[in-house]
Structure formats: C-alpha cells, structure tokens
Amino acid sequence: MYDLVKTLTELPGPVGHEDAVQDWIAEEWAGFGARIQRTRVNNVLARVGGSGRRLLIMGHADELCLMVKSIDDDGFLRLWPFYGDRLGHVPRSFVPQNQPALVLSDSGPVPGYIATASGHVVGWRDREKAILEWNDLFVDLGIGSRTEVEDLGIHAGCRVIWNPETRRLGADYIVGKAMDDRAALAIATEAGRRLSARSDLTYDVWLASTIQEENGLIGAASVFDEQAFDRCINLDVGLTGDIPGPSKTDFPCKLGAGPILVHQDSSCHYSRRMIAELVGIAAANEIPVQQAVFQNYGSDGASLIRRGVETVLLTYPTRYVPQFPESAALPVRLAA
C-alpha cells in the first residue's frame, strides 16, 4: 500500500491539469478489468462489476498549486494562487518557501525552487512586515533570462506544485505532498482490484476519480450527468487534532484510531443511514472507527447529494491539511 500511495502522490496533478494522474488511474483501473469512461472534462469513471443499485466509490485527482502570473526579465517566475484570493496576501498556513518546485510547462515538467528573499539581503526593510505578499514569492529555475524560460514552454497560467518526495516517517506514517486526495485514490484502486475478483457483489460497483475538487467541487458536479448513481462512498482526508495547536474539543480524532465517518461539514450533512450501516459493518468486523463533525471543510460528496445521490463521507486520519496548502501524514496501516 505504501508503494501505491507513493506512486500516486508523486504524480503531478494540480488543479485544472490533472492529466498525469488521470492517465495513470485509467490505465491501472483498466488493468483489473474495469470498464473505463473518460468524460469531456477529464473525470475518470470505471465500472468494476456486480448487479443491483449503483454504488460509486469516489476520490479526487487534483492537488493544490500555484500559478505562474508573470516572468521577470531575469527569469524568475512570479506567482498567484489557483483560487480566487480574498485575503490579498499569503495565508498564514501556507509556507512553501524553500520547497522544491515543479512547473508544468507546455514542453513537460521543469524543476525549480520556491523562494523568497532572505532577511540577510532585505535587511530592515521588512522588519515590521507581519504578512507575506504574493509578490514576495517566486520560483528560481536556475535560468538567467525571460527568453530562456519562455523557450521551455513556460508562460502565465502554467501550474506550479511544491514537489517533495513521499517517504516513511517513523514506523507507521507516510509524509508527502498530495495526500489530499491521492491516498483516497490508492484506497479506491485497491478496493476496485479486490472487488473485481468477486462474483457475489450485491451492488453495481463503480469508481470515480474527479477533477478540480479543490476549486469548488467542480469535477464531481457533472458525474451524475454521465452515469446515474444511487449511493456514493466519497473518500477524502480526515481532520485530526492530535498535534500541538488544535483544540481536541473541536478536533477529537487522531491517527491510529480508525477511519473517520463524517456526519456534517461546511458543505452538507451526509447520510445518517449509510453512516449507521458502515458503523455496523465495522463493529461486526472489529474495525475501529471514529465519528466526527468537520469545520472549515468540504468534499465532492456535496455535489453528489445535490444531484440526489445518497452519500457518505469516509475519511482516513491525516495531519497537516490546512485549506491551502497541504502536506500530509497518515498511518500506513489505516491506508491499507
């Protein structure tokens, strides 16, 4: 399972440019016999098999990113967030500087480095400055001119991701980028592989990998237009409070205590009936499970509920997933 999570998280799949992830998903899911449907907006749907009511197991392909806003004469990339910025500055939870970067150009990925000028060279100028402006950040490609950068196929609108490798942390955890939501796609992939081998499925089981979840649940909004589903298990990151800082009153869930079933988040209320069914299944199989209400959180499941699909949100406990950006750690054993 670790290898599967590592493979998926290390693929570049920023909002609006999820091609590498969706290509991998389509090929992998077809490999265990699923019937693949690639939609016009680049969602991937796959029929696994079975009969009865249609059940969808869903995760999203996109990861948070930055956008190239402009290119300096000296070859530095100036940045903008992928979302509609309302703060006018970099959020406190976003600290990408000194991270390896990957720029998705028209000619392919280009490595770089997300940086900001250090205190040694800005001196006293920013001593009283409490916030980081977007124009304080840039990507250094190790290239000395705008022309050389443009020759690589880089222009305004190219996506930029921070690009650390995925690795083990201690005995039980994985740390890396894009755990939101590639670990979910790893889980969906393994579930599809196991379910495809069974002949006793009492649902008509489908998988989905959607685009632009981080940009307002956009991709999932059209899933029902392609195929009608009765029920959906939406897979996503689960919020925990088992680190310094968060209130355990607000976030009582923790790593190692089982997957989290979410009753309500900022976008909707999830199916009480399906939650009760999954709690019963977990109890019958001696699987620990947590239940929660999430704050400052939304998922693709809301888009399915709006289209009349009974939906539950099933999450894997994850640390360090602010709204923007994310760097996540999760228990290997729970992902499996």
pLDDT at residue number 121: 65
pLDDT of residue 322: 53
* Percentage of the chain lying above the pLDDT 90 cut: 78
Rg (CA), the chain: 21
CATH code that applies to domain 66-162 = 2.40.30.40
Instruction: Give 2-63+177-335's CATH code, choosing from 2.40.50.140, 3.40.630.10, 3.30.70.2190, 3.30.479.30.
Output: 3.40.630.10
The Cα-based distances of 74 to 81, 91, 157, 162 in angstroms read 22, 27, 19, 22
Mean pLDDT on 207-230? 95
| CA–CA gap between residue 103 and residue 118 (Å, rounded) | 23
Tell whether the model's pLDDT for residue 331 goes beyond 80: no
Instruction: Pick the closest to residue 195 from 309, 86, 334, 46 (CA basis).
Output: 46
Q: What integer best gives the mean pLDDT of the chain?
A: 91
pLDDT at 132: 80
Q: How far apart are CA 216 and CA 209, in angstroms?
A: 15
pLDDT at 193 over 90: yes
* Helical residues (DSSP H) of 167-249, grouped into ranges: 179-196, 223-226
* Per-residue pLDDT at 144 exceeds 80: yes
The answer on pLDDT for 122 being more than 70 is no
Q: Would you say 211 and 42 are in contact if contact means Cβ atoms under 8 Å apart? A: yes
Mean per-residue pLDDT, 37-57: 97
Does the structure show a pLDDT above 50 at 62?
yes
Per residue in 83-102, pLDDT tens?
A: 877 777 787 767 777 889 99
Distance CA 75, CA 157 (A): 16
Higher pLDDT, 197 or 333: 197
What average pLDDT score do residues 208-215 get?
95
Residue 217's pLDDT band (boundaries 50, 70, 90)? very high
Reported confidence tier of residue 128, pLDDT bands at 50, 70, 90 = low
pLDDT at 49: 96
Residue with tokens 């869930």: 253
Q: Indicate the pTM of the whole model.
A: 0.91
Please tell me the predicted confidence (pLDDT) of residue 320.
85
pLDDT at position 123: 60
| Band of pLDDT at residue 246, cut at 50, 70 and 90 | confident
Residue 10, pLDDT above cutoff 50? yes
* Across 138-159, average pLDDT: 96
CA angle 197, 199, 201 (to 5 degrees): 100
Q: What is the pLDDT of residue 328?
A: 47
pLDDT tens figures, 163-184: 999 999 998 899 999 999 999 9
d(CA 314, CA 236): 7
pLDDT confidence tier of residue 335, bands split at 50, 70 and 90:
very low
* Minimum mean pLDDT range among 56-60, 64-68, 128-132: 128-132
Q: Average the pLDDT over 264-287 and give the result.
A: 97
Count of other CB atoms within 10 angstroms of residue 155: 13
237: pLDDT strictly greater than 60 = yes
Structure tokens at 36: 């693949």
The domain limits of the chain are: 2-63+177-335, 66-162
